[in-house]
Amino acid sequence: MAYKKLIEESVVPGLVRVALYIRVSGEEQKIKGLSLESQQERLEAYARERGWVVVGVYIDAAKTARKKLHKRTEFQRMLDSVQRGEVDMLLFTRLDRWFRSVSDYYKVQEVLEAHDCEWKTIDDGEGYDTTTASGRLYINIKLSIAQNEADLDGERIDVVFDSKVQHGTVLSGSCPFWCKVNDEKRLEIIPEKAAILQDAFDYYEISTSQRATIKRIRDTYGVNWCDATFRRMLHDELAIGVYNKRGRYNPEFCPAVIDKEQFARVQELSKRNSRSNPSGKVYIFTGILYCDECHHNMVGYLSHGLYYYRCNYHFQRDLCHHNHSARESRIEAWLFEHLGDEIEKYELAWNVQAAEKKRTSASVDRATLKRKLTKLKELYVDDLIDIEEYKRDYQTYTAALNKLNTPVVDEEHLNLSGVRQIISKGFREIYDSLTREEKRTLWKSVIREIRIDNDQNITGISFF
């Protein structure tokens, strides 16, 4: 078949980059028209009919409209794309897919306006106009109604949860170590695990030590609790059969495995043993010092007036062989002596990796677009698409290909100016005059991670 003549004139004045946002709650997934697949298909079709380019699909599954914005992870990812200037329009099916809160709407609208990003719904029928007072009032009314519906749903859910707690029915599938959820949705004791918990309470009363108790349970039963897990179990009132959470209370929620008198004694003992951090006990490398053996954070402690760091994955759980402590002053001295060399090594490795990543990504994207152009030509030649579809998709792909071939002016660069100041002449005097809090802030602002091995050697550093 002879090739058809292509019209060179552009039929699309400019590419519109759209992000599709889809949200469903658990119950709504069962309703026709609100499923993930249905929403996505209709949104993609709507964008395709208008020649818009879909640059992202963001799906918050099983997330209700009452969820806080920061808990809707895909929504946050979409906003990040907007703030990076990657999106021209947000597209969703209905206004209540986006928000059911007037205050949340205006917070996000401020971000969209600052980055010239618009939004549109496809199912609400009437359009929304944010440029006029009447339009904004109409949106307020719609969102207020949606928010009221969500609040009513929340009140109904609270009533259901209150009833469940009073009847001893679990609210979720999670349960404490010594229990399981039975067919009647109640907590049922697991005898062998209840015996382990009883032994732990008994031994804690004798030893008065959480660490010693954890070690005994690990050595005797092979159960490896961390310090935080055991501490939660010591204070969990479900052990005495009491539900006491979020304002809901039932003294006979489930069978007890610990005697109430013993539970009270353990609470008092734990309170006496708890130690608060004294004033001035600041660890300079908290949050950035890592064990090179197991890759867990090293934790600071004070001994005879000196600051040290150790791997608690060894000292508390015996799951790492890193059994030596690193002195804080030696880490500081090493950094001032070797930081210059570490900066050069890190910068070299970063540049090599960034160049390789750029070459690989561009090569893959270019090859993908060329394949799409070839496929597009075949579809047109075989009369599977018409000239309008061909011209629209051809311009989209060639524009993307030209963008790849255009040098990036605002390319990301590694900026180590902050950490270079630390190795500049005279900085050590300034550093020694800083408080411990200021030193900690300084290191955490320029260093992401310091790795140290069991021989107290610093094996690697990464910077921001």
**pLDDT tens across 167-215, in order?**
888 877 678 999 998 888 889 999 999 999 999 999 888 877 888 899 8
Position 328 pLDDT exceeds 90: yes
Average confidence score pLDDT of the chain: 79
CATH 3.40.50.1390 positions along the chain are 17-150
Q: How far is CA 172 from CA 26, 161, 177, 181, 186, in A?
A: 14, 10, 15, 9, 10
pLDDT in tens, 99-122: 656 777 778 888 888 888 888 888
Q: Which of 63-72, 170-179, 367-376 has the lowest mean pLDDT?
A: 63-72
Sign, CA torsion 91/95/98/103: positive
**Which of 41-45's residues contact partners 24+ apart within 8 Å by CB, and which partners?**
42/93, 42/122, 42/123, 43/91, 43/92, 43/93, 43/122, 44/20
Under DSSP, the state recorded for 139 is H
Q: How far is CA 74 from CA 19, 304, 311, 385, in A?
A: 11, 49, 35, 34
CATH 3.90.1750.20 positions along the chain are 179-273
Position 457 pLDDT exceeds 70: yes
Q: Which two tokens stand for residue 289?
A: 């010092």
Per the confidence metrics, is the pTM higher than 0.85? Answer: no
- For domain 179-273, the question of CATH label 3.40.50.300 is answered with no
CATH number listed for the domain at residues 17-150: 3.40.50.1390
Residue-by-residue DSSP string for 1-23: -PPPPPP-S-S-SS--EEEEEEE
pLDDT band at 263; cut points 50, 70, 90: very high
According to DSSP, the residues that pair with 108 across neighbouring strands are none
